[in-house]
Each structure stands twice: as C-alpha cells, then as structure tokens.
C-alpha cells in the first residue's frame, strides 16, 4: 500500500457550532451535513496519566474528527516534511485529520476526554505504526 500525498496543510479546524440557552449548550454532528465522511466508529480516550502521549501512528485510508469533549490536549501532525501542533480545548471544535499523516496526542489536561469520530471500523492493516516505515512510505 502507498500512503497519500496529503500534508499537514490538508487538515482543518471545523467549527461545529453550538446551540446555547439557559439550560446549557449542545453541539450536533450529522453524517452528510457537517462532517465530510460517514462516521463508522466513535471512540474516546480518557484517564490519561500526566505526561503520557497517545497516537504515534498513521493511517492509509482512515479520516478522523478529533474533539476535546472535555479539557484540552495537543495534536501533532506530521507529513514527513512538515509538522504542525494544534491545541484542542473546546467541545464544539473538531480537527479533521486526513489519511497519510503521522499523528500524536500529548499535553493532556487533568480530566480531559478526547473523542474521535472515524470514517472506518478498526482495521490493523490500515495502520503504519513505525515512524521509519512512515517516512519511507512518504518518499
């Protein structure tokens, strides 16, 4: 398999908007409306010890929306040439990560929750887990 030629500049911050009233706020995500792929899997990361990082892989085909459902954390995107750090800290803001990029998550605040909406169900063959392999595939 070959990794896409996507770069860190192909990722985007999406304002999912929020509806506010005296009873609180709500943000809605709907396939075909405010997300550029159909969601096939949702998972979330939580109880991450201080100083720990998550991710550390790339995907051949998977797209993701990464959201700080609570607290804050950073996402480091890497296309083999460029790196970009994005801080997520609001539950109505999503980072759209396109295929072919190395990603790591770090700098988790206490009690943070990272919610991920994915374009595919889990498939180990879609992962590149070794950074040296990733760099070779991007050449």
Which residues does the annotation mark as catalytic?
A: 57
What is the side-by-side order of every strand in the sheet holding 41-45?
A: 12-15, 93-97, 64-70, 113-118, 41-45
Q: Which residues pair with 103 in a beta bridge?
A: 57, 77
The answer to whether 71 and 109 have CB atoms below 8 angstroms apart is yes
Q: What is the DSSP string of 71-107?
A: S-EEEEEE-SS-EEEEEE--TTEEEEE-TT-EEEEE-
């Amino acid at each position: 398999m070959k990794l896409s030629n996507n770069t860190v500049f192909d990722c985007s911050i999406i304002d999912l908007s929020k509806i506010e009233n005296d009873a609180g706020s709500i943000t809605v995500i709907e396939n075909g409306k405010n997300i550029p792929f159909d969601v096939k899997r949702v998972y979330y990361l939580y109880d991450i010890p201080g100083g720990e990082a998550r991710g550390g892989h790339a995907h051949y085909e998977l797209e993701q929306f990464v959201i700080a459902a609570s607290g804050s954390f950073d996402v480091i995107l890497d296309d083999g040439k460029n790196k970009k750090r994005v801080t997520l800290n609001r539950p109505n803001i999503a980072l759209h990560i396109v295929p072919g990029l190395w990603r790591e998550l770090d700098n988790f605040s206490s009690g943070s929750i990272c919610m991920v909406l994915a374009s595919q169900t889990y498939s180990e063959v879609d992962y590149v887990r070794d950074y040296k392999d990733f760099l070779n595939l991007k050449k």
